[in-house]
Structures are given as C-alpha cells and as structure tokens.
Amino acid sequence: MPFGLPNAPAAFQRLMQKTLQRLVPNQCLIHLDDIIMYGRNVTEHNGNLRDVLERLWSTGLKLKGSRCHFLQREVTFLGYVIAADGIKTDPAKSKQIKRWPQPQPVENFCSFLGLASYYRKFIQGFAEIAAPLHRLTEKGRPFTWSDECNASFETLEEKLTTPLILDFPDVSVEAGKFVLDTDANSISIGAVLSQEGEVVIAYASRCLDKCEGNYSTTRRELLA
C-alpha cells in the first residue's frame, strides 16, 4: 500500500478486519498493523495464535519477526498496559505527563487536555476536576490561566502519575453482580461501574450543558 495517501490507514484497517473478522474479538484485537492475541491459559493462547498466523499466511500477509513478542504476561496496546490483573495506564505516558510544563500556550494546553481525557475512565469525577480547563476551550473565551485552572491541572497531573489500574469485567456465572453507582452535582454527572467486592471496572463522567445545569437536583440525579 502506498504511503502518504489520506485514506491509507482506513483502507489498511478494513483489510485487517476482513482478514481476521472471524477471530475478532474472541481470539484477537486489531489496530492497523498491531495485532494482540490472548488466552486464559497457554493452551488457549497458542491455539488462538495458530489461528491468526494461519489466517495471515492464507491471505499472503507477512509479519516482521523483530516486532513479534510471544507468551507475554503483559503488553502495551493503544496507550494501555494489559496484564492478568487488569488494565493500567502506560508508564511512558505517565512520565510524559509528569514532565509536562504548565499548559500554555493554547496548543500545549489542548494537547495536555486531550491526553488526560484519553485516560478519563481511570479517574473518578474527571469531568468535575477538568471543568475549569474545558471552559477555556469555549468559543470566544479568552485564554486566561487562573488559580482554578492551575489547581485543576495539578490535580489531574497528580492522579495521572499515580499507578492506576482497572479490573476486567467477569461475566462468568460464579462472578459477583455488576454494580453501577451514579451521582450528580451542579457541574457534572458521573458513574462508577464495579463488581461485587468493590472491584472497579471503569469511571465515567461528563459536564452538564447550560440547559442541564438548570435541572433540579432530582432531575440531575435521574440524568446521571
């Protein structure tokens, strides 16, 4: 495939999805030229690996040996570290955040906010914490870095550089029930998805728009 074409990534992703469509997502996941295979034990892992390799071979696709890693206990994939005990943030990204200067000018600020938002499911109440920063992105609003913005930035920086881990959902019959806790305030709504035993699977939150901000407390709780 020629490099530089604007539709090249989408075309290649479509090719990979078509090639491995019967194996996704039960045996592997795909993102462009990255393929991650997994299994609950070595036997299942090796079987899934064999199926993927045979499928690639049958369609004429080749793998670069130096980029292949087999029988890994954890892998880094799309900015996450995936291991047996759960999903973690990529330590390389955490170091990048720790070294991030105070996010000015606007371009630097937007880059920080984008990276922080990518990991929002690891942070309880992310929307409320980041609200002062998001307000700076409103159309026509002057970029004024206030103490409130600085406090928001430092809180996010601290939380994102602390080791964070989310558990995998367990849908087996023996596993505990899923629990969804929701909350709302005058700024945002949020939720925590967990399983019995307080095992956190993900956090979710978003800011209220101007109309939703006028809702009564009961209606905001219902919205959450």
Q: pLDDT tens digits for 115-133?
A: 999 999 999 999 999 999 9
DSSP-based three-state secondary structure for 119? coil
Cα 125 to the chain's mean position, in Å?
Answer: 15
Total-model pTM: 0.83
Positive or negative, the CA dihedral 92, 94, 95, 101 is positive
Residue 200 CB: number of other CB atoms within 10 A? 18
Mean pLDDT calculated for residue range 82-86 = 90
Mean pLDDT calculated for residue range 142-170 = 89
pLDDT of residue 2: 67
One-letter identity of residue 168: F
Q: Which residue has the higher pLDDT, 212 or 142?
A: 212
Rg (CA), the chain: 21
pLDDT of residue 128: 94
pLDDT band at 199 (very low <50, low <70, confident <90, very high): confident
pLDDT band at 40 (very low <50, low <70, confident <90, very high): confident
Residue 3 has pLDDT above 70, yes or no: no
